[in-house]
């Protein structure tokens, strides 16, 4: 009973933080003619409610794709039409065709914020709780602390409850997929992740680990016996789920091609809103836009779940990921919630997870780096990489605070009007690159003993 009380308290505090952020501004508030992502989500409700399915993704006289045309997979469209039916019951003006464009009112803002909260309560938050209770190893205190810190992560809260998105739906479904695989329910895990992929194409980032895990499990069981049966079951689950999600569009090949075309709007390029940190950083030295065609630029390729395992590095990454969105958050008028949620997450996660104390070379699993350094530079004495990482973390937090203050309080030189957004992007890109190397070395060099001692998650 006490454990569930602590879990409930953690969830309530997380919900309070989310709702507090929702009182602030949102993307495009009071900025005609296009407004922002808030209006995009509202407009999708308008379109899906008033137009037949075969017009949702096509440019027609009643559906101007240049005005926030639907560009997410079918499950998002179904979610939009579900919200639209509720909106219609409350106030038909919210989804009235044409007339509702740019609609803004306190009541409608409350409704839209509530739809995000309900989605989190139904999908994302239960997934986090179940994952931590059943798949995170350790004491009850560690499990509850991990729940609290994951739910307190500011990056997701600021985007969903500030900027305005429904990322919690796709991430929650993906997490249910992880839970399914971790508990050995491979078909249910495949079903959940396929739904996540059909809600938001962003989940393509997570598709490779799912594919490799399931294929590896099939191979391990033998592709001429149990492994082949498992492969067939998973394949049928994925195909049937896709078929149900795309059923209204499958009768016409033009519909399928148009939906796919809308899901990958390459005409936007790689630099939208300066949140593409790698490209904005490289573009300072190498003018990618002038040297590469759009097709060439396209050749590119969840750390929250590691908070209980490698807390210092996980917190490091999550703080940088939130900081990397600073230009977008400032554009949306979300400075105060950005500062408050970032500081709260940093304080609670570092203290509750003892991140700075759990920073020895062994705890951070830095042996691959020692091996790499001793091979490349044999004359170099053995370094205390754990201590170096801890100090890098502290210095990075100070620099992020400084750049955040500078972005708000200082006027950039006239010659470099985008100085602070570029500095934010470059800083974030360097950290992402380092952490990418860290996790890949960790994955590739992990010992069989450690692997076998883990749960299958």
The string of pLDDT tens digits covering residues 216-240 is 899 888 888 889 999 999 999 999 9
Residue 286 lies in a domain: no
| Sign of the torsion angle spanned by Cα atoms 51, 56, 60, 64 | positive
User: What pLDDT, on a 0 to 100 scale, did the predictor assign at position 270?
Assistant: 45
User: What pLDDT, on a 0 to 100 scale, did the predictor assign at position 2?
Assistant: 63
Looking at the fold, whether 328 and 434 belong to one and the same domain comes out as: yes
Looking at the fold, whether 63 and 165 belong to one and the same domain comes out as: yes
User: What pLDDT, on a 0 to 100 scale, did the predictor assign at position 96?
Assistant: 96
| Count of structural domains within the chain | 2
Domain extent, residue 354, equals 303-452
Identify the CA nearest to 136 among candidates 311, 14, 390, 368: 311
Judge whether 221 and 230 are in contact, CB under 8 Å.
yes
Partners of 60 in the beta sheet? 63
Residue ending a domain, choose from 220, 251, 272: 272
Looking at the fold, whether 59 and 153 belong to one and the same domain comes out as: yes
Looking at the fold, whether 78 and 221 belong to one and the same domain comes out as: yes
Chain-centroid distance, C-alpha 296: 25
Residue ending a domain, choose from 222, 255, 272: 272
Judge whether 378 and 171 are in contact, CB under 8 Å.
no
Looking at the fold, whether 266 and 333 belong to one and the same domain comes out as: no
**Length of the chain measured in residues:** 457
Residue 287 lies in a domain: no
Looking at the fold, whether 68 and 164 belong to one and the same domain comes out as: yes
| Sign of the torsion angle spanned by Cα atoms 94, 98, 99, 101 | positive
Residue ending a domain, choose from 227, 257, 272: 272
User: What pLDDT, on a 0 to 100 scale, did the predictor assign at position 299?
Assistant: 28
User: What pLDDT, on a 0 to 100 scale, did the predictor assign at position 291?
Assistant: 41
Residue 399 lies in a domain: yes
User: What pLDDT, on a 0 to 100 scale, did the predictor assign at position 383?
Assistant: 77
Looking at the fold, whether 252 and 316 belong to one and the same domain comes out as: no
Ranges of residues in the chain whose predicted pLDDT is under 50: 267-299, 301, 447-457
User: What pLDDT, on a 0 to 100 scale, did the predictor assign at position 42?
Assistant: 97
Rounded CA-CA distance 230/186 in Å is 8
SS3 31: coil
Looking at the fold, whether 11 and 140 belong to one and the same domain comes out as: yes
Looking at the fold, whether 131 and 213 belong to one and the same domain comes out as: yes
Report the alpha-carbon angle 93-98-103, nearest 5: 50
Looking at the fold, whether 266 and 171 belong to one and the same domain comes out as: yes
């Amino acid at each position: 009973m006490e454990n569930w009380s602590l879990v409930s308290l953690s969830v309530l505090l997380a919900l309070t933080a989310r709702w507090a952020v929702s009182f602030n501004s949102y993307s495009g508030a009071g900025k005609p003619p296009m407004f922002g992502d808030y209006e995009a989500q509202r407009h999708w409700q308008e379109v899906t409610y008033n137009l037949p399915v075969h017009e949702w993704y096509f440019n027609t006289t009643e559906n101007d794709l240049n005005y926030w045309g639907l560009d997410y997979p079918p499950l998002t469209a179904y979610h939009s039409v579900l919200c639209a039916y509720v909106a219609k019951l409350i106030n038909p003006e919210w989804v009235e065709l044409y007339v509702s464009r740019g609609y803004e009112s306190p009541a409608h803002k409350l409704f839209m914020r509530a739809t995000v909260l309900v989605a989190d309560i139904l999908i994302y938050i239960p997934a986090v709780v179940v994952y931590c209770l059943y798949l995170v190893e350790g004491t009850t205190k560690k499990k509850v602390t991990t729940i609290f810190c994951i739910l307190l992560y500011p990056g997701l809260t600021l985007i969903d409850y500030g900027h305005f998105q429904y990322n919690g739906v796709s991430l929650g479904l993906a997490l249910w997929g992880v839970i399914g695989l971790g508990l050995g329910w491979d078909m249910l895990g495949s079903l959940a992740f396929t739904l996540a992929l059909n809600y938001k194409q962003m989940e393509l980032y997570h598709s490779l680990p799912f594919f490799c895990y399931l294929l590896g499990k099939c191979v391990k069981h033998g592709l001429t016996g149990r492994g082949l049966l498992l492969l067939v079951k998973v394949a049928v689950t994925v195909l049937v789920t896709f078929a149900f999600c795309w059923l209204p569009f499958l009768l016409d090949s033009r519909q399928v091609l148009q939906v796919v075309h809308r899901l990958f709007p390459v005409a936007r390029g790689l630099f939208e809103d300066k949140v593409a940190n790698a490209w904005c950083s490289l573009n300072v030295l190498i003018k990618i836009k002038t040297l590469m065609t759009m097709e060439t630029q396209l050749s590119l390729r969840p750390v929250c779940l590691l908070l209980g395992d490698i807390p210092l590095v996980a917190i490091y990454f999550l703080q940088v990921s939130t900081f990397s969105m600073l230009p977008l958050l400032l554009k949306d008028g979300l400075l105060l919630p950005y500062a408050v949620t970032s500081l709260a997450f940093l304080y609670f996660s570092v203290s509750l997870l003892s991140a700075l104390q759990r920073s020895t070379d062994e705890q951070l699993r830095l042996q691959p780096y020692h091996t790499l350094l001793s091979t490349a530079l044999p004359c170099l004495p053995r370094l205390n990489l754990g201590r170096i990482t801890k100090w890098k973390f502290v210095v990075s937090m100070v620099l992020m605070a400084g750049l955040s203050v500078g972005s708000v309080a200082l006027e950039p030189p006239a010659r470099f009007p985008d100085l602070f957004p570029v500095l934010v992007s470059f800083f974030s890109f360097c950290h992402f690159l380092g952490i990418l190397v860290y996790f890949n070395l960790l994955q590739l060099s992990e010992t069989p003993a450690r692997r076998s001692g883990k749960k299958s998650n």
